[in-house]
Structure 1
Amino acid sequence: MAQRIIYWFRNDLRLRDNEALFSAVASASEVIPVYVFDPRQFEKTKLGFRRTGAMRGQFLIQSIVDLRNRLREKGGDLLIRIGDPEKIIAQLAEDFNAEYVYTSKEIAPEETRIESSLSKKLKTVNIDIKLFWMDTLMHATALPFSIAKLPANFSAFNDSIKGSFQVKEPFAEPEKIKLPDEYEAGPVPILAQLGIDPNELDGRETRNVSLGGESVALNVLTNYVTDYLKAGKTYETTDPLTDTRLSDWLSLGCISPRYIYNEVTKSHADAYQDHAMVANLISRDYFHWTLLRYGPRLFKPSGIKHNFLQRWQNDNALYEQWTNGETTDPTVNQLMTQLKATGFLTSAERTTYANHLVNDLGINWTWGAMYFESHLMDYEVSVNWGRWNNIAGVGEVE
């Protein structure tokens, strides 16, 4: 057994069904949980708005507060820092004489670059990093094909996994977390410390904005199961994952897809084929595998299809009409107002809003994807950019 492991929280801000944390606690006498606020996530884009808007920033802060409280209930704590994670984690591992760094595996290009940089820094001081894939229902190695042979659309993907679809039981919460005797936990930052003016939150509809944290996520799922599944009611949407707003907490890993699946299937006998929530989770998996398969192509105007014939306008005036809710379409304008006030649009509303930018105005779809990244509370890189690829006609092959 190792003496000490640094556990680096990323988009897995939970204790329940956190395989990497569970393994760290089982593998070391002492575990030091760390979260690093990365200023690069709050920088302004070339279009003038922040990558992470004020509401998303506040949601993240709330989630970190909840995570720290839950860790303290287990005898642990959460060390909080601000800066480049690859530098800070490496330094902490060296300062605490850790033998390993455990963390979740990410697949987006920027996150994998950070992982690679951290790994190189750790090697110079003879510390190993162990990465855990835990953001989908199934592991990539459990798929009946290699990622290089990923089916070209979701329907084909769904058909191909039916015979091998198995989801493992969720991991339990660690019973106890032991810290070193001396450590400095650090304060939870406020928005201003992340470069965000708190006044940007003015005008939001507080009652319709989600509160961050695993504790809230578990309650929302329990209410969904009790009020709908066990009561035999139908949630009137084809995308309950988004429209119940469970996707808000899923985006930061405050709850795991596997845990949602487990709770739904315990309450619904025909879950795999017939339950929309499970279908949504499988669709989310497909977006993740698409990002893993195509990488940077997902973020280019030509999309994963490499459609270089489709031309997009980079018209700032038209784009600002869309972002300011000043188009000729009152429905689209109302949706913009709603997005800015709540950080939320239903799945159908997102399609309506995005279609107007792409198919009515002909504006570069990547601009819309960046705007959603800043404002949607449930932003996930693979899901957001995958959906925009499809709306722009540069995504799935029919």
Structure 2
Amino acid sequence: MIHRIIYWFRNDLRLQDNEAFFAATQSAQEVVPVYVFDPRQFEKTKFGFRRAGALRAQFLLESVLDLRNRLREKGGDLLIRIGEPEKIIAELAEEYSAQYVYTSKEIAPDETSAETSLSKNIKVMNVDIKLFWMTTLGSAVDLPFSIAKLPFDFPEFYEKMKAGLKVKAASKEADHINLPQGYEAGLIPSLPMLSIDPFEITESNKKSSGFLQKGGETTALAKLDQFIEEYIKPGKALNSTEPIVDHELSTWISLGCLSPRTVYYALLPYLDQNPDATIVVRDLLKRDFSNWTLLRHGSRLFKPGGIKHEINKRWLNELPVFEKWTSATTENEEVNNAINKLTTTGYLTTTERNLAADYLSNELGINWTWGAMFFESFLIDYNVSGNWVRWNTVAGVGSI
């Protein structure tokens, strides 16, 4: 048996159905669970808003705290650090004489760059990194085609997936966690420790506190149970083609407080009797498709020409017009209401997201990537692939 593994938590802030963390506890005598707050995530963009704003940061802090509490219930703890993960995890691997680093596999450019750098940093210490794919219902090898032959639009993808859909059973949860001697967990940081002024959470945000969701796996599981009891069991209409977002499950799925497989297996007993349960599964597959689209097309997803590579389509880079949109002072009151709701609650329905995105990109003709960056800052349920695929689609440079 391996003596010691560093487990690096990323967008998998849960113990239930966390295949990678469970594997670490089964493979090693001791596991060092770690979460690293990366200051680069909270830096300000050229537009003045942060990559991840104060509301997203607060939700993350709550989620990490809940994870720590759940680990402590099992005899473990969560080591907290602030800095560049690819450097800090390597330092911890050396400090704790670990043989392996286990973590979840990501596909967005910043995350994969961190993985590559970490792998290089620990290779010189004869420490290996083991990556586990846990973001979707299944892994790339489970698809009935290669990523290179991924269908361009979702309806074709769904038709190929739905008939033979097989979802691996959810992973077990670790019963007990053994920590090394002298383990010093450190403090959960405050907003100022992440260089975020607490006053960035304004009085408007605080007045909307009834609408702000609490981070963490504990709340996520309760929310899922509530959704099943209120809508799925009694067959109540969901009135949405994207219920994962519209019923806010995406809020916890975004940080991995809730896994797609957990949602799927909660729905499974009702699929034959409730058609709307099937709509949720379809939406989970749509979320998967966004991830595979990012994996297939890479950096093109983030460029104005989008995955269609529309190089002849011109976008306006007019900052004053963009700022009217971000400050909710456009000619369109519905759009203004949506932007005000986003900045005060961190949440929008799919209809509101599409409305705001369509107005910026198609009515105003402003560079749609600017809008995608604004959503990244404020949406608490921000997911790289989901957000950028949506903006590609609305702007007419992608297809889903």
Q: CA deviation at 1:265?
A: 1.4
Q: Which residues of 2 match residues 104-119 of structure 1 at below 5 A? A: 104-119=104-119
Q: CA deviation at 1:109?
A: 1.0
Distance 1:143 1:335 in 2: 37
Q: Which amino acid aligns with 1:143?
A: L
Residue of structure 2 equivalent to 1:314: 317
Q: Which amino acid aligns with 1:290?
A: T
Q: Work out whether 1:195 is the aligned partner of 2:198.
A: no
Q: Would you say the 8 A contact 1:68–1:77 is kept in 2?
A: yes
Q: Which amino acid aligns with 1:371?
A: F
Q: CA deviation at 1:231?
A: 1.7
Q: Which residues of 2 match residues 238-249 of structure 1 at below 5 A? A: 238-249=241-252
Q: CA deviation at 1:266?
A: 2.1
Q: Would you say the 8 A contact 1:332–1:353 is kept in 2?
A: yes
Q: Which residues of 2 match residues 212-231 of structure 1 at below 5 A? A: 212-231=215-234
Q: CA deviation at 1:273?
A: 8.9
Distance 2:336 2:70 in 1: 41
Q: 1:38 to 1:56 in 2, by over 3 A?
A: same
1:116-156 Cα distance to aligned partner (Å, 9 max, x none)? 00001111000010000010001100101100110010011
Q: Work out whether 1:233 is the aligned partner of 2:236.
A: yes
2:210 aligns to what SS in structure 1? helix
1:287 to 286, 290, 300: 290
1:183-238 Cα distance to aligned partner (Å, 9 max, x none)? 11010000111111111112111000110000000000000001111122112222
Distance 1:318 1:382 in 2: 26
Q: 1:291 to 1:271 in 2, by over 3 A?
A: farther
Residue of structure 1 equivalent to 2:159: 159
Distance 2:56 2:274 in 1: 31
- Greater CA deviation, 365-374 or 157-166? 157-166
TM-score, with length taken from structure 2? 0.98
Q: Would you say the 8 A contact 1:101–1:130 is kept in 2?
A: yes
- Greater CA deviation, 160-169 or 143-152? 160-169
2:102 aligns to what SS in structure 1? strand
Q: Work out whether 1:345 is the aligned partner of 2:386.
A: no
2:358 aligns to what SS in structure 1? helix
TM-score, with length taken from structure 1? 0.98
Q: Identity of paired residues, percent? A: 56
2:301 aligns to what SS in structure 1? helix
Q: Work out whether 1:395 is the aligned partner of 2:391.
A: no
Q: Would you say the 8 A contact 1:313–1:363 is kept in 2?
A: yes
Residue of structure 2 equivalent to 1:8: 8
Q: Which amino acid aligns with 1:377?
A: I
CA RMSD of the aligned region, Å? Answer: 1.2
1:5 aligns to what SS in structure 2? strand
Distance 1:332 1:86 in 2: 40
Q: Would you say the 8 A contact 1:273–1:279 is kept in 2?
A: no
Task: Provide runs of 4+ in structure 1 moved above 6 Å.
Answer: 271-274
- Any gaps of 5 or more consecutive residues in structure 2? none
1:36 aligns to what SS in structure 2? strand
1:16-52 Cα distance to aligned partner (Å, 9 max, x none)? 0000000000000000100000000001112211000
